């Protein structure tokens, strides 16, 4: 139905999800979703509903620079996703048990802007990794510290202080 194709297209464009997500929701193959998006998107463009290309941020450093340059607010969220327990005999089976939820999970870090648009998603890590450790390993802490430092490393030139007469105060 057209309404389903329109909904799948709008979800894809608004949330930047892969074609697999709407395909799962609607119970169809991902190629069907790709074809539906290809049909509906030009119809939206004819009626003035276009999606601007905007800024494409590929790395965490680009996201931090983008937020800092515009003075924008960023929201960082460490998200846990429950997963099935790894197979018995697997050497790292216990690494997936989260200290926070005491369940088998993987973690990812998501950075969004103030409007809730996702700007960056880190690679997933096993659940036993703490959120701050995940942020450090992805380089977020180092990038935020570097963003706080002044851009210029040159020291300003100053004159040496000369002591005045004893009774000048």
| Domain assignments of the chain as residue spans, ordered by start | 2-46, 60-148
Q: Are 79 and 112 in contact (CB under 8 A)?
A: no
What's CA 53's distance to the chain center, in Å? 18
- Look at residues 62, 51, 79 and name the one whose alpha carbon lies nearest to residue 119: 62
Distance, in Å, from the CA atom of 127 to the CA atom of 108, rounded to the nearest integer, reads 9
Q: Assess whether pLDDT exceeds 80 at residue 112.
A: yes
CA 85 to CA 46: how far, in whole Å? 49
**In the predicted model, is pLDDT for residue 33 greater than 70?**
yes
Closest CA to 95 of 140, 50, 125: 125
Please state, in angstroms and rounded to a whole number, the distance separating the CA atoms of residues 168 and 17.
Answer: 72
Distances 39 to 33, 92, 163, 168 between C-alpha atoms, Å: 10, 46, 80, 84
Contact of 113 with 72, CB cutoff 8 Å:
yes
Is pLDDT larger for residue 100 or for residue 19? Answer: 19
Of 81, 123, 85, which Cα lies nearest the Cα of 106?
81
Strands (E), the chain: 74-82, 105-113, 118-121, 125-126
Return the pLDDT at 35: 93
Question: Tell me, what's the pLDDT at 158?
Answer: 45
Q: Return d(Cα 39, Cα 2) in angstroms, integer.
A: 10
Average pLDDT over residues 14-24: 82
Percentages (nearest 5) of helix, strand, coil residues in the chain: 40, 15, 45
Q: Which two tokens stand for residue 83?
A: 């997963």
Q: Is the pLDDT of residue 43 over 70?
A: yes
Task: Tell me the mean pLDDT in the region 102-125.
Answer: 80
What is the reported pLDDT for 74? 84
pLDDT computed for residue 54 by the predictor: 64
pLDDT at 159: 45
């Amino acid at each position: 139905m057209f309404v389903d194709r329109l909904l799948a297209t709008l979800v894809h464009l608004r949330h930047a999800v892969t074609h697999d997500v709407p395909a799962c929701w609607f119970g169809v193959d991902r190629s069907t979703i790709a074809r539906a998006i290809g049909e509906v998107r030009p119809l939206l463009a004819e009626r003035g509903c276009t999606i601007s290309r905007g800024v494409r941020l590929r790395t965490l450093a680009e996201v931090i620079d983008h937020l800092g340059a515009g003075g924008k607010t960023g929201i960082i969220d460490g998200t846990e996703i429950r997963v099935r327990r790894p197979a018995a005999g697997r050497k790292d089976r216990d690494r997936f048990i989260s200290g926070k939820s005491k369940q088998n999970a993987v973690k990812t870090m998501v950075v969004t802007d103030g409007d809730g648009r996702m700007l960056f998603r880190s690679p997933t890590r096993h659940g036993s990794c703490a959120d701050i450790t995940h942020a450090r390993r992805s380089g977020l802490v180092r990038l935020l510290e570097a963003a706080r430092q002044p851009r210029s490393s040159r020291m300003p030139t100053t004159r040496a202080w000369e002591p005045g007469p004893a009774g000048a105060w």
